[in-house]
């Protein structure tokens, strides 16, 4: 694979992933709607581009990390999109797009002989900075093997399958579990605080016992107990992921009684806290109902 790549979307996740590629010696042509995001990477040696088309005219392999399926579609196949680039041959989607959107975009790129590779990631901003993300890849096996050295720079790489959308389905299943852990742990800890328990002791006990999960292990100690609420992932984005997950489950005929309840609490948080709230603020919902505050001593 050539040592020059394209990268589109330099937000909370995209910036550290792109930075790691530069640090590893790859040349990057980058694009973001925010000039300051491009300037930050330009200071590290990246070349800013005015459009996705310009990125796709500078590199055979383009990676993108974007917030919603609609933006993914626009960047990939819209006006001045990747599809209009003169050099691109592979588009790697690091976003959470959903299987159906991935299939649609892949079909739109095919007439231009541009291969689409699902490669959603999980692990948050901290994982993107450290290069410890879970990278869930689906696409042609030969293409996966060619991309693997690049993707290993951002995390642990898993080959999910060759069919378009399989990586996206894996990511949605993962995010459903993450969302469930956050909502359920919030309710459990609020219950304990209402009964007079110390929330920090509760988290220590949970993490030493059978209730341990990603929320108790990471989100509570880092962002909830200190009341910083700065984990770096927005409530609105998690609600988007849950919506995609339930839509896919419905299309497959899979019952989702637990997932539906989890979606309800998260969309209530969306309404009460706003889409731009940090998703660690979910604890404020059961707190408000119980009349207590979860705070480490």
Map residue 24 onto helix, strand or coil: coil
Map residue 278 onto helix, strand or coil: strand
Our CA dihedral for 197, 223, 269, 132, rounded to 10 degrees, sits at -130
Q: In this structure, are 29 and 153 located in the same domain?
A: yes
**Position 296 confidence tier, pLDDT thresholds 50, 70, 90:** confident
Q: pTM for this one?
A: 0.93
Q: Which domain-ending residue is among 138, 163, 188?
A: 163
| DSSP-derived pairing of the beta strands 133-138 and 121-122 | antiparallel
Look at the block and give the residue holding tokens 């459903």.
Answer: 176
Q: Which residues form the domain of 231?
A: 169-290
Q: In this structure, are 273 and 216 located in the same domain?
A: yes
Q: Which domain-ending residue is among 115, 132, 163?
A: 163
Mean pLDDT of the residues in the chain: 96
Q: In this structure, are 181 and 115 located in the same domain?
A: no
264 with 168: CB under 8 angstroms? no
Q: Which domain-ending residue is among 105, 138, 163?
A: 163
Closest CA to 279 of 185, 208, 170: 185
Q: In this structure, are 198 and 225 located in the same domain?
A: yes
Cross-strand pairs, 122: 134
111: which DSSP letter?
Answer: G
Q: In this structure, are 154 and 16 located in the same domain?
A: yes
Which residues form the catalytic set?
171
Q: In this structure, are 43 and 131 located in the same domain?
A: yes
Q: Is the pLDDT of residue 1 over 80?
A: no
Query: Does residue 209 fall inside a structural domain?
Result: yes
List, for residues 223-245, the tens digit of each pLDDT value.
Answer: 999 999 999 899 999 999 999 99
Number of domains in the chain: 2
Can you tell me the distance from the alpha carbon of 112 to that of 108, in angstroms, rounded to the nearest whole number? 8
Q: In this structure, are 59 and 139 located in the same domain?
A: yes
Q: In this structure, are 94 and 241 located in the same domain?
A: no
Distances (CA, A) of 55 to 39, 191, 260: 15, 51, 40
In the numeric block, which tokens belong to residue 246? Answer: 């339930």
The contacts of residue 212 (CB under 8 Å, 6+ apart) are 206
Q: In this structure, are 280 and 179 located in the same domain?
A: yes
CB atoms near residue 276 (< 10 Å): 9
Q: Which CATH number do you get for residue 80?
A: 3.40.50.720
Look at the block and give the residue holding tokens 């399958």.
Answer: 161
List, for residues 100-141, the tens digit of each pLDDT value.
Answer: 999 999 999 999 999 999 999 999 899 999 999 999 999 999
Q: In this structure, are 22 and 159 located in the same domain?
A: yes
List, for residues 131-176, the tens digit of each pLDDT value.
Answer: 999 999 999 999 999 999 999 999 999 999 999 999 999 999 999 9
123: which DSSP letter?
Answer: S
In the numeric block, which tokens belong to residue 128? Answer: 């993107």
Query: Does residue 297 fall inside a structural domain?
Result: no
Q: In this structure, are 140 and 206 located in the same domain?
A: no
CB atoms near residue 90 (< 10 Å): 22
What is the pLDDT at residue 297?
65
């Amino acid at each position: 694979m050539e040592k020059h790549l394209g990268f589109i979307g330099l937000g909370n996740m995209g910036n550290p992933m792109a930075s790691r590629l530069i640090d590893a010696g790859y040349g990057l042509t980058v694009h973001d709607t925010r000039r300051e995001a491009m300037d930050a990477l330009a200071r590290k040696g990246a070349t800013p581009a005015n459009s996705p088309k310009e990125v796709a005219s500078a590199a055979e392999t383009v990676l993108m990390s974007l917030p919603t399926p609609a933006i993914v579609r626009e960047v990939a196949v819209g006006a001045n999109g990747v599809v209009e680039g003169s050099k691109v041959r592979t588009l790697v989607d690091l976003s959470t797009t959903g299987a159906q959107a991935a299939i649609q975009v892949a079909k739109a790129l095919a007439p231009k002989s541009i291969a689409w590779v699902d490669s959603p990631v999980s692990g948050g901003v901290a994982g993107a900075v450290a290069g410890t993300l879970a990278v869930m890849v689906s696409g042609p096996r030969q293409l996966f093997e060619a991309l693997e050295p690049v993707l290993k720079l951002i995390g642990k790489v898993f080959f999910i399958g060759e069919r378009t959308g399989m990586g996206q389905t894996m990511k949605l299943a993962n995010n459903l579990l993450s969302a469930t852990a956050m909502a359920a742990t919030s309710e459990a800890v609020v219950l304990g605080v209402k009964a007079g328990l110390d929330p920090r002791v509760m988290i220590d006990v949970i993490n030493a016992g059978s209730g341990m999960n990603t929320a108790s292990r990471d989100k509570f100690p880092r962002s909830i107990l200190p009341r910083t609420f700065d984990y770096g992932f927005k409530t609105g984005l998690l609600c988007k992921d849950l919506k995609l997950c339930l839509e896919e489950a419905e299309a497959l005929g899979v019952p989702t009684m637990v997932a539906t309840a989890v979606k309800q609490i998260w969309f209530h948080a969306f309404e009460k806290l706003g889409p731009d709230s940090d998703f660690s603020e979910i604890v404020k919902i059961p707190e408000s109902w119980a009349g207590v505050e979860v705070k480490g001593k």
